Amino acid sequence: MIKRHLLVGLLLASLTAAAVRAEKIPRPNPKIPPPSAEWIAKIEQLAPAKTSVEAPKRKALVFSLFTGFDHLVIPHVDEVFKILGKKTGAFDVVVTRDIEALMPDKLAEYDLLVLNNNCSVSPRRNIFLDELERNERYAGLSGEERAAKAKALERSMLDYVAGGKGLVVVHGGIVMLDTSEEFVELTGALFHYHPPSQELTLRTVEPNHPLLAAFQGKGPFVHVDEPYLFHAPEGKLKFRPLLVMDTDTLKDEQGEAGKMVRYAAWIKPHGRGRVFFASPSHFPESYESETMLRFLLDGLQYAAGDLKCDDSCPK
């Protein structure tokens, strides 16, 4: 009898340990090849078949223009959001690199906007001015006209979210306009720098938060990524953190990680709208995970206003 109880206890302990074991993503291919048919099929298989919350079908615009650093994962992220929308039937997803799609009359057609790795040229960090200066379509504009149009595009995006729509920001999308105080206020934090890509451990901040349901009953999420570090506007958090990055073993030559905002995902209200930021990922392998795909889908539903949850900034 004692042996049987001991065996049962060991079995339960092993099951518990398995339940909280870290999800470790395989090391990525540093060359980041374009999304293959096999990779797309894998994401289609892993993606959730239904949303966490039943809701009317929404329309999402994925904006994938970059003018600075080329994140080679951009086309993979495009595919991820298209697959999440199509497989669940919850979102019609349109992908564009045209800044005209962000003008008020065009943007109004969508329920949410996704910023996909929109790195702009440093140090100015204004993707609209970059595009207006480099695209022959706008060659006839004067400097003043370009500046006015860039400001109008930024205002369109800010008003869009404040008016009740949703914004999802993925990885490098957060530096798109990060010399703009209003854009930083919108997204919640100012990008500072990132140490080299390396293995990172992400943990949930509030395990029982509805937007972290994908991680419940599981251990930390371990993957290779660029560890983005941020300044908080005015030195105060202005968002509700979801995922936090371990920094104890971080390889960081600047040595400032301990002083920086090291959250890897968060949510926040903005006016009558909602913002969801997800730092993952620089590499497509991070999306080869049912957990991460469910998390992103729930983030889409939050931004669309369908997944209700506490998005207030903790005191």
**Inside any domain, residue 103:** yes
Q: Starting at the edge strand that comes first in sequence, how are the strands of the sheet with 23-24 ordered?
A: 23-24, 221-225, 198-204, 240-245, 263-270, 273-278, 166-170, 112-116, 58-63, 91-96
Q: What percent helix, strand, coil does the chain show, rounded to 5?
A: 40, 20, 40
**Inside any domain, residue 194:** yes
Cα end-to-end distance, the chain, whole Å? 52
State how many domains the chain has.
1
**Inside any domain, residue 5:** no
208-237 pLDDT tens trace: 999 999 998 898 999 999 999 998 776 678
pLDDT score of 163 more than 90: yes
pLDDT band at 255; cut points 50, 70, 90: confident
The pLDDT of residue 247: 84
Buried b (16+ CB within 10 A) or exposed e, 121-142: beeebbbbbbbbbeeeeeeeee
> CA nearest 297: which of 85, 109, 86?
85
Amino acid at position 121, single letter: V
**Inside any domain, residue 139:** yes
The pLDDT of residue 4: 41
> CA nearest 301: which of 49, 50, 53?
53
Residue 106 makes CB contacts below 8 A (sequence gap 6+) with 100
Cα–Cα distance measured from residue 210 to residue 207, given in angstroms and rounded to the nearest whole number: 9
Share of the chain above pLDDT 70, in %: 93
- pTM, entire model: 0.92
Q: Domain limits at 175?
A: 54-303
**Inside any domain, residue 82:** yes
**Inside any domain, residue 315:** no
The pLDDT of residue 239: 96
**Inside any domain, residue 309:** no
**Inside any domain, residue 111:** yes
Q: Which CATH number goes with the domain that contains 233?
A: 3.40.50.880
Among 141-150, 191-200, 252-261, 278-287, which is the least confidently predicted range? 252-261
* Helices assigned H by DSSP within the chain: 2-19, 37-46, 74-88, 104-107, 127-134, 143-162, 181-187, 290-303
